[in-house]
Structure 1
Amino acid sequence: MVTAEPSRPVTAAAGVDPLGAPYLPGRFAIPARPPTFLRRRRLHRHLDVGRTTPLTMVNGAAGAGKTLLVADWAASLDEPVVWLTSDAGQTPGLFWAYLLEALHHHGVLEPAEVGFPADAHRVDRKLLARLAVALAARERPVVVVLDEYDRVTDPAVSEQVEFVLRHAGRGLHLLLVTRTEPLLPLHRHRAAGTLTEIRNAELAFTPEETVGLLALHGLELSVAAAAALVERTGGWAAGLRLCALAAREADDPEAYLKEFEAGQSTVADYLLGEVLKRQPAETQDLLLRVSVLDRFSPVLANTLTGRLDAEPILDGLRRQNAFVESLGHSWYRLHPLFGEILRSQLEVTRPGLRPLLHRRAARWLRRSGYLPEALAHGAAAGDWEFTAAALVDDLAIGQLFTGLRAEGLADLFSGMAPETTSPAAELVRAARALNHHDLGRGLAHLHHAERTLAAEASDPAAAQLSCALLEAHAARLTGAPGRAEKAARSARHLQGEVPAQLLEQHPELNALLLTHLGTTHLWAGRFQDARAALDAVVASPAGAATALPRQASLSHLALIDYLDGWLDRAERKALAALTETERYGLPPSSGSSVGHLVRAAVAVERDELDEAQSLLDEAAVSAPAGPDDPVTAAGRALTTARLRLAQGDAPAALSAAEPAITADVVSPWERGQAAAIACSAHLAEGRPETAARALLGAPDDQAACAVEAARALLAVGHPGPAIEMLDAVPPEGEAGPAVTVPALLVRAQACDQAGDPATARRILTRALLDARRERLRRPFLEARPWVLRLLATDPQDGLAEGWLLRGALPTTAGPLVVEELSARERDVLARLAQMMSTEEIAADLYVSVNTVKTHLKGIFRKLAVNRRTDAVRRARELGLL
């Protein structure tokens, strides 16, 4: 309030305020910093920048470190700073009397220059004008700090402060330290760019600053551990200092800082005393009730309190910086540590209320469309009937398998009470079991849910659609294409009975269905049908919700390309599959496992055996818990067998090629590939008759089997029948080089044996052309030595140079590309040529017998032989001995 007073300056009695009381000098003093105070230079720099604007506001919660920050900055300046700590309930006259005395105390103004309020309740506008003029005349602006400005509640004072600030111009830099928004027209200052603000978020300690603060308290903590403490305390300065003081008294300070009970600490005493107990009873009740929520709106808060006053209370708490933060759009949250303490207080003061609050929150959130939070609160309330039904009715059961929330949902439902036996609960149990490939338990729960749903009159479409998804998943695990097709037909029918909006919100449901369907078609050898289903998944919109089925579909499409003989296509798809989940930070899945297996199989065909082993190891690491589904199991077994065969370990290849795969139908390509590997292993061991018998039960239409059968016939000297056998191989347009090149090489060898070397060379040329595009080496390595002989007599115009042959071809064929022998392997090889035993080599080289055996395996693999005598012979051919 401004009233007319005499225009002459009024001088106060020396050392007393308008009420005649002496001034309290402590209100003019810059607060001292304790020895454990940490200077934070990033905030100093912000305050320095603030001097370019007339007004700076440091606005934060109690204990945020506002006052000490500004005091430290003020003490570091070269010029005097006018400091005034505000008092509660000050009238305009008293406020300005103290501020003028502060200016006099710090030598900025003499009382006679401006005057002095004579009345404690009023101040003359002319006095304020004289003050503004005196400040504006200064050569350098004076820095005035008004600490605890939130205690100034009279609107007249803020109006007068704004008047002086506006008219003092560059002569005044005003810095307000406050817990609440001051009554100044801040919106105007923001619009004009004349305000610098430092708020709670910036005042919060960083992990690195926390490490420094704790070090000042004699505590050592890593940045990672400090980050966890910052997350829990929100970087709140007082909380960190109180934790540090308490930790110093603990036997294990680091353990205390990780595990302290917020509700039973000095931090709780501070917040309960400084924040909660200062609030009216209605506000305290609201804060205790909303403490069970991670975030809340006024309507949700009203639901928990049963009142209608949440909106003004929450807005007031936000303005007061009372540890209630606005998230925008009328949503709020509690400071994490404050929320933790309030939850402890809720248990103490109102035992038994928490489950009721969770239940109320769950139902409101479910009605309002906030399913993830509704599920969390339903579980916290122990209301599993509601929680499972909410997941199933929302068509969200697919989120247990894919998406960013899959792991969290699995953990949430892990605590579901066994006595909860509703259809929805049984479907959730079935989904969790199938996700771990626990087929027996998964089907038991699924069939129980289906029987219960069949007995209900309502027959909810969402639950039935969930059943169809789980049936398709079970079909994939059992290699049952008929079952998957039935589930897919049921799903297509049911999708018309649920709201289209729900289907749009859950694209993972259809993506999972098609992935399961396509995978079962792949297992059955129906590649065209498999591609149609899997391509549809890949073409669906990208996103975290569909990342895993997209990855699985790409990986299985890569497997089809590999089986069809197209190595480059397979490798590209497998690599693309891996990026699907990486971009969303999702964990490894069976899809990534198949992708690694395909890449490993491609590496074997290119004779990159170390890379193949590395990828096989990665596939094992990324494999999900539980047994593999049939496609993955077959891919793992066949790739391992092919690698062992390439490494010269035929017995291991035979063992790996016969996995125990349980499936409803026989996979033609799995049987064919396994039989072909077995045949090849027996041929490598010099057993052509046994090799031929390995093919007796193989499907007739498998190209790999036809090639191996022809090789077996050649091994016993029957080139004519071998050529007839090769006629079963698909035409080149349908199959890639990994299928056609082995057939061409066997055909060329048959022609060569039949006395037609010209045709053999022509066919070899075609094989080289096709193989070079995909860097396909294994068929040529397995076809030695006759390939070497043909290449020696006809260099094929350099078609084999660089990628298959090393160096130029002289009169004898140069070596097929093999890995270089290490120096130690050459030492072992030289002793092999001297007919030394393994034990003798070990003793001669001062190494263990196992080490020698390891070197022998490397030599055999690199020289593509299986026996010592063959290794010596091959080494002599290559000029290594």
Structure 2
Amino acid sequence: MGAVTEADGRDTEAASRRRFADPHGDPFLRTRFAVPARPVTFLPRPRLTRHLDDALCTPLTMVNGAAGAGKSLLVADWVRGLDRPGGLPVAWLTTDAAGDAPGMFWAYLMQALRVAGVPPSADIGFPADAGRLSPTLRARLAAELNARERPVVVVLDEFDRVTSPEIAEQLEFVLRHAGPGLRLVLVTRTEPLLPLHRYRAAGELTEIRDAELAFTPQEAARLMELHGLRLPPAAVRGLVERTRGWAAGLRLSALAAGQSTDPEAYLAEFEADRSAIADFLLAEVLKRQDAGTQELLLRVSVLDRFSPALADAVTGRDDAEGVLARLSRDNAFVEHVGHGLYRLHPLFAEILRAHLRMRRPGREAELHLRAAAWLRRSGALAEALGHGAAADDWEFTAGALVDDLAIGQFFTGLRADAVTGLFARMGREGAGPAPELVRAAGRLARCELDAGLTHLRRAQRELGEYDGTPDEAAVRLTCALLEALAARMAGAPDRAEEAARAAGELWGAVPEGLLDRHPELTALLLDHLGSARLWAGHFEEARAALTAVADTAPGAATALPREDSLGRLALIDYLDGWLAGAEHRAREALAETERFGLPRPSGSGVERLVLAAVAVDRDELGQAQALLDTSAGAHPAMRDPVLQAGRALTSARLLLARGETQAALKAVEAEVPAEAASPWARGEAALVAAAAHLAEGRTRTAEGLLAEVPDEQVACAVGAARLHLATGRAAEAVRLLDRVRPEERAGPAVTVRAALVRAQAAHEAGDGATARRLVARALAQARGERLRRPFREAGPWIRPYLDGTTRHRLTPGTGPAPRRPGTPPPVVEELSGREHDVLRRLAMTMSTEEIAADLYVSVNTVKTHLKSVYRKLSVNRRNEAVRRARDLDLL
């Protein structure tokens, strides 16, 4: 049969024989012309078959995907829609490795056309030699196809087995000259040798690739149902994420899960290396590679995303770039993710790691360390830490973090959880200053001051005398930062100042560029110093340090120290009597971490505490309580004397405003652990306690507390003057105000109270004109700050000096003021308790989503409550609702 030539093609008997035999004289294998049958659990995917319809408009179509991606079944499903009465003829050929012989390939292709009902004419001839094809045959075939009125669709399945450039050239010749008579569909794992760029440029190529072949979560859910599995959406999403939508992985997982008593648990926890998926990938992917490529794949399995240079470093090779590019082109479960980086399919990587442990015991840790060292030299610290931890080399891992001045990542939001979780596995392994500093940071981040100091002291002992080297400078600067934090937590301002001085001496000694890479270290150090100075009552020095942090360039790394510094600057403004400024800074602090997407709650919560204190002064007691609750819930275990004292004082003032004097006393008597006393905290606590004792008639007890009130704090001095006045010593009260001159040093929240002390003294002296002038001045100053509490605290003497409207708004026990023309009507229908909750949070500028999360309800529920609030308040917008509620004393 092999001696028959193409010229003999006209011989009827020979042509008849050739119809059933290849150039070797062997019968054609009919299975190679069969369209694959659809399994019972096959899932049609209209989005892909619709895309394949474009194949009828372009001469060339390529379906290119990994093994098991569902390529052949997809095309088979599509061609069944074509091969029907009135449809287009479809010739299907599954190629094999023997197809690299040109004569054999074309003999099978021509037989596929005969099986499809479009036999080439006898004039075309037949390949007589398995190893060659004459130019005449391909030209005649192309001309005959070009003459067809309707095209024939030729599908070449598993075309990746055809690696002969000669066949590719011949096929491209026929495709180009067949014109509209041929639509060629290549189903392949690899990029074919045809000049695809020409077809792309001309818009004559339809492509479906691996990413498009991947199952969506919706498709995966339907596939699971075909296997008798009904899974929750989260379980399906998890499976799709793990398999990356790989068709074979999903089907094999579904088959195995169907045999489990708990399919959902099985799919969440199955070990890929002990499943049919492992058998498939090992046979279809790994074992198809040469020994060197197999070894490379085993070694890079310890990496997540990797460059060829990193792969070379881990494997000890110098040719990874070419190998990885080839594997990616061949869809060998190596994906090029852009920017010169690659990654393995997660299931493939999992299986390879299991084989690495089995075939190369102990090698995994070595490979992780090689990767960690290369990544550290390349400046990829986060990845280096991960590999160092995976190798259980904690001296290297802790040293990398400390030497890079990155210890601040324990405290700065975006990386805090990752770094804390990474080093939580360290245990007692690792000796030396760096591991001890990391342990200290971990404990201090959890507010475990004593344990943190224990590790910090060990690190300092191991360091000994400073040798002046840049690496040790970084370690000592890390020590200074942690020392400043511990001092802040302990309420030890002198130690914080000493730590700051030590840090200042080291700035110039650290390696160049380190501080620029880690701006959070400087920001944290100054934030701790500023907070310690605030505790000490050195407001101006504290303001200088905190302002330096607040003025740093915004960034995710410094967002938390910026938020905290802004909150503490707001607290200083509040203590100095500048309520509007305090409120502005506090809201600026709240917005700081939101803009970088940091988790809520974040920061220390001091900004919400300041807003609560401002709300008390404005007599918005409900809002003050809501803000206090939020502040307390942010970090209940926070070790911060400034925050603890501020919360106790604000709570006590709120309780006093509600008439709960015993509870107020209990709040301020709670001890705030600190090594050094805070003058303003001690003085403010004494004033609140004295006010509570006065309310219950214990005048002498109140007088005894005056000794604890420092005159150097203006707000405290004004409070002391009020106490003098309340205990019958008006002259002493006025002399104290004359001495401290609050009008020159403080804001309205302080000066209004000072003016009211002077007004009451004038009233008691019978000087009504002076009293009226001073009350008028106080009202003018209070109006811009919306201050009410000082007037409500003033007592009955002030009523004659207020008009009816002002008296109603500022003092209790009077009738309502007449409604101004043009103002909305009063609320007829009361707000429900839940509507009050929503309204309070609205006033805190929380978004609808934040309110829903805070109240543990759905967003739609919050929207329903908001509509009801708007209706009852006769408003249309959020800011109008808040303004109206304040006018009606609902907040």
TM-score by length of 1: 0.86
**Corresponding residue of 2:300:** 290
Which of 632, 638, 651 is the aligned partner of 1:640?
Answer: 651
Counterparts of 2:378 and 2:596 in 1: how far apart (Å)?
27
Greater Cα offset, 209-218 or 477-486: 477-486
Residue correspondence of structure 1 range 429-448 to structure 2 within 5 A: 429-448=439-458
C-alpha change, 1:819 and 1:517, in structure 2 (3 Å) is farther
- How far did residue 339 of structure 1 move? 0.7
- How far did residue 526 of structure 1 move? 1.8
Greater Cα offset, 244-253 or 498-507: 498-507
Counterparts of 2:187 and 2:492 in 1: how far apart (Å)?
71
**Corresponding residue of 1:493:** 505
Three-state SS of the structure 2 residue aligned to 1:696 is: helix
C-alpha change, 1:166 and 1:636, in structure 2 (3 Å) is farther
Counterparts of 1:316 and 1:352 in 2: how far apart (Å)?
29
- After superposition, the C-alpha distances for 1:239-277 in whole angstroms (9 at most, x for unaligned) are 111111111111111110111111111111111222122
Greater Cα offset, 631-640 or 99-108: 99-108
**Corresponding residue of 1:736:** 747
1:140 touches 1:171 (CA, 8 Å); kept in 2?
A: yes
Code of the aligned partner of 1:86: T
1:751 touches 1:759 (CA, 8 Å); kept in 2?
A: yes
C-alpha change, 1:632 and 1:791, in structure 2 (3 Å) is same
**Corresponding residue of 1:96:** 106
**Corresponding residue of 1:471:** 483
- How far did residue 510 of structure 1 move? 0.9
**Corresponding residue of 2:390:** 380
Three-state SS of the structure 1 residue aligned to 2:706 is: coil
- After superposition, the C-alpha distances for 1:194-241 in whole angstroms (9 at most, x for unaligned) are 333322222222222222211111112122222222222222111111
2:576 touches 2:714 (CA, 8 Å); kept in 1?
A: no
- How far did residue 428 of structure 1 move? 0.9
**Corresponding residue of 1:851:** none
Counterparts of 1:728 and 1:40 in 2: how far apart (Å)?
86
- How far did residue 685 of structure 1 move? 2.8
Counterparts of 2:486 and 2:151 in 1: how far apart (Å)?
78
C-alpha change, 1:137 and 1:490, in structure 2 (3 Å) is farther
User: Are 1:603 and 2:615 an aligned pair?
Assistant: yes
1:596 touches 1:618 (CA, 8 Å); kept in 2?
A: yes
C-alpha change, 1:619 and 1:112, in structure 2 (3 Å) is farther
- How far did residue 777 of structure 1 move? 2.2
**Corresponding residue of 2:863:** none
Counterparts of 1:486 and 1:52 in 2: how far apart (Å)?
78
Counterparts of 2:795 and 2:119 in 1: how far apart (Å)?
103
Greater Cα offset, 583-592 or 747-756: 583-592
C-alpha change, 1:186 and 1:714, in structure 2 (3 Å) is same
C-alpha change, 1:792 and 1:542, in structure 2 (3 Å) is closer
Code of the aligned partner of 1:35: V
Which of 406, 409, 412 is the aligned partner of 1:402?
Answer: 412
Counterparts of 2:350 and 2:832 in 1: how far apart (Å)?
65
C-alpha change, 1:799 and 1:170, in structure 2 (3 Å) is farther
Three-state SS of the structure 2 residue aligned to 1:591 is: coil
C-alpha change, 1:822 and 1:73, in structure 2 (3 Å) is closer
**Corresponding residue of 1:56:** 61
Which of 369, 375, 378 is the aligned partner of 2:379?
Answer: 369
Code of the aligned partner of 1:224: A
Three-state SS of the structure 2 residue aligned to 1:333 is: strand
Which of 532, 539, 543 is the aligned partner of 2:551?
Answer: 539
**Corresponding residue of 1:462:** 474
Residue correspondence of structure 1 range 90-129 to structure 2 within 5 A: 90=99, 91-108=101-118, 110-112=120-122, 114-129=124-139
**Corresponding residue of 1:144:** 154
- How far did residue 119 of structure 1 move? 3.3
Greater Cα offset, 38-47 or 647-656: 38-47
1:89 touches 1:154 (CA, 8 Å); kept in 2?
A: no
Counterparts of 1:505 and 1:582 in 2: how far apart (Å)?
23
Residue correspondence of structure 1 range 177-576 to structure 2 within 5 A: 177-455=187-465, 457=467, 460-576=472-588
1:707 touches 1:743 (CA, 8 Å); kept in 2?
A: yes
User: Are 1:23 and 2:28 an aligned pair?
Assistant: yes
- After superposition, the C-alpha distances for 1:593-645 in whole angstroms (9 at most, x for unaligned) are 11221222222222222222222222222216x44211111122112212222
C-alpha change, 1:724 and 1:352, in structure 2 (3 Å) is same
Three-state SS of the structure 2 residue aligned to 1:89 is: helix
Code of the aligned partner of 2:94: T
C-alpha change, 1:49 and 1:658, in structure 2 (3 Å) is farther
- How far did residue 141 of structure 1 move? 4.4
Which of 802, 808, 813 is the aligned partner of 1:791?
Answer: 802
2:577 touches 2:715 (CA, 8 Å); kept in 1?
A: no
2:398 touches 2:434 (CA, 8 Å); kept in 1?
A: yes
Total equivalences in the alignment: 812
- After superposition, the C-alpha distances for 1:681-728 in whole angstroms (9 at most, x for unaligned) are 223334343333233211113344334334334444554444334335
1:692 touches 1:712 (CA, 8 Å); kept in 2?
A: yes
Counterparts of 2:591 and 2:815 in 1: how far apart (Å)?
35
Counterparts of 1:138 and 1:562 in 2: how far apart (Å)?
89
1:707 touches 1:742 (CA, 8 Å); kept in 2?
A: yes
**Corresponding residue of 1:667:** 678
- How far did residue 348 of structure 1 move? 1.9
1:672 touches 1:704 (CA, 8 Å); kept in 2?
A: no
2:440 touches 2:453 (CA, 8 Å); kept in 1?
A: yes
C-alpha change, 1:706 and 1:39, in structure 2 (3 Å) is same
Greater Cα offset, 225-234 or 235-244: 225-234
Counterparts of 1:823 and 1:493 in 2: how far apart (Å)?
60
Counterparts of 1:355 and 1:175 in 2: how far apart (Å)?
46
C-alpha change, 1:46 and 1:787, in structure 2 (3 Å) is farther
Code of the aligned partner of 1:694: L
Code of the aligned partner of 1:286: L
**Corresponding residue of 1:776:** 787
C-alpha change, 1:98 and 1:633, in structure 2 (3 Å) is same
**Corresponding residue of 2:74:** 69
Counterparts of 2:667 and 2:49 in 1: how far apart (Å)?
67
- How far did residue 799 of structure 1 move? 9.9
**Corresponding residue of 1:727:** 738
C-alpha change, 1:309 and 1:706, in structure 2 (3 Å) is closer
**Corresponding residue of 2:91:** 82
- How far did residue 541 of structure 1 move? 2.2
Code of the aligned partner of 1:23: F
Which of 38, 43, 49 is the aligned partner of 1:38?
Answer: 43
C-alpha change, 1:208 and 1:695, in structure 2 (3 Å) is farther
Counterparts of 2:599 and 2:201 in 1: how far apart (Å)?
47
**Corresponding residue of 2:855:** none
Counterparts of 1:819 and 1:387 in 2: how far apart (Å)?
66
User: Are 1:701 and 2:712 an aligned pair?
Assistant: yes
Alignment gaps of 5+ in structure 2: 821-825, 834-887
C-alpha change, 1:614 and 1:280, in structure 2 (3 Å) is same
- How far did residue 557 of structure 1 move? 1.4
Counterparts of 1:9 and 1:533 in 2: how far apart (Å)?
99
Q: RMSD between aligned alpha carbons? A: 3.1
Counterparts of 1:36 and 1:678 in 2: how far apart (Å)?
77
- After superposition, the C-alpha distances for 1:27-86 in whole angstroms (9 at most, x for unaligned) are 333322222222233333433355544333221111111112222233344733433222
1:599 touches 1:615 (CA, 8 Å); kept in 2?
A: yes
- After superposition, the C-alpha distances for 1:89-120 in whole angstroms (9 at most, x for unaligned) are 31222323333333343345643475543433
2:6 touches 2:128 (CA, 8 Å); kept in 1?
A: no
Alignment gaps of 5+ in structure 1: 811-816, 825-877
Counterparts of 1:72 and 1:288 in 2: how far apart (Å)?
36
C-alpha change, 1:57 and 1:479, in structure 2 (3 Å) is same
User: Are 1:749 and 2:760 an aligned pair?
Assistant: yes
C-alpha change, 1:741 and 1:138, in structure 2 (3 Å) is farther
2:9 touches 2:122 (CA, 8 Å); kept in 1?
A: no
- How far did residue 787 of structure 1 move? 4.0
Counterparts of 1:173 and 1:446 in 2: how far apart (Å)?
74
User: Are 1:657 and 2:668 an aligned pair?
Assistant: yes
